[in-house]
């Protein structure tokens, strides 16, 4: 038996966002753990990169939390929440109606925090 | 002489985003440090809230960095970068042309990381 190839944390993160959120990879530069990848979920672009002390970019798992979280607006928050948990995310709030939203929260396998929601009224607000 | 009223970190953060990025406050609930505020810069909505151990929401200044950074797309990155530094942000990258963008980076007074940029070509990419 051969061991499976070691995958970097950044590469795993990209795979999670592709499989769970339907992200597409717009650009990817570098190799192994040193990739910088630009992804998009619909029109929302974001980047995945390695933590590094030079830029004070800290890894959520190294500091026991996140300094921000991202709201992902989707048609079916319950379904996306379920996909995320199946793919290894930690549920932090089950889907519920809250402040005019259908809203759930997860911590993804990299330790980043996401809200997954759908406004129950018009969005953006008029 | 009376001491100036003590302002919470969250309240200071909201004031910085209003003054520097032209953010408007859509909603604000709570008092003092325990506010949760929803702001918008153009069509981009975001929230300011206090760090808290319950939600693993860590303060950037407590962990010496940030677990993510936000890209703010503006017409004149050099001007907004200058405003931010004048208002107390720490410059981490002077405005420069990079990867097809005019791009600068700051750490805001709360410790959050921002890229301030303008695409030199079409955005979003075709």
Q: How confident is the model at residue B122, as a pLDDT?
A: 77
pLDDT in tens, B7-61: 568 899 999 999 999 999 999 998 877 889 999 999 899 999 988 877 899 999 9
Instruction: Tell me what ipTM this predicted complex has.
Output: 0.86
Largest Cα span, chain B: 60
Look up the pTM and report it. 0.88
Chain A partners within 8 Å of B70 (Cβ): 68
Tell me the mean pLDDT in the region A59-74: 94
Q: B69 vs A57: CB contact, 8 Å cut-off?
A: yes
pLDDT in tens, A46-62: 999 988 877 899 999 99
- In sequence order, what are the beta bridge partners of A90? A107
What is the C-alpha to C-alpha distance for residues B22 and A43, in angstroms, rounded to an integer?
23
By percentage, how much of chain A surpasses pLDDT 70?
Answer: 90
What SS3 class is residue A14? helix
Residues whose CB is less than 8 angstroms from the CB of residue A8 and which lie 6 or more positions away in sequence, other chains included: A32, A33, A34, A35, A50
Phi, psi of B4 (to 5 degrees): -65, 150
Q: B63 vs A58: CB contact, 8 Å cut-off?
A: yes
- In sequence order, what are the beta bridge partners of A36? A29, A49
Q: A58 vs B69: CB contact, 8 Å cut-off?
A: no
Phi, psi of A16 (to 5 degrees): -65, -45
Query: Which of B43, B45, B67 minimises the CB distance to A60?
Result: B67
Q: Looking at chain B, which residue has its C-alpha nearest residue A60?
A: B67
């Amino acid at each position: 038996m051969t061991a499976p190839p070691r995958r970097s944390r950044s590469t795993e993160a990209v795979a999670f966002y592709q499989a769970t959120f339907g992200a597409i990879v717009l650009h990817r530069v570098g190799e192994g753990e040193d990739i910088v990848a630009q992804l998009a979920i619909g029109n929302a672009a974001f980047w995945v990169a390695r933590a590094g002390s030079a830029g004070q970019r800290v890894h959520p798992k190294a500091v026991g939390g996140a300094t921000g979280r991202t709201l992902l607006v989707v048609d079916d928050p319950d379904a996306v929440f379920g996909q995320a948990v199946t793919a290894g995310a930690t549920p932090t709030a089950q889907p519920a109606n809250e402040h005019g939203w259908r809203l759930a929260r997860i911590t993804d396998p990299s330790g980043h925090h996401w809200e997954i929601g759908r406004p129950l009224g018009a969005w953006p607000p008029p």
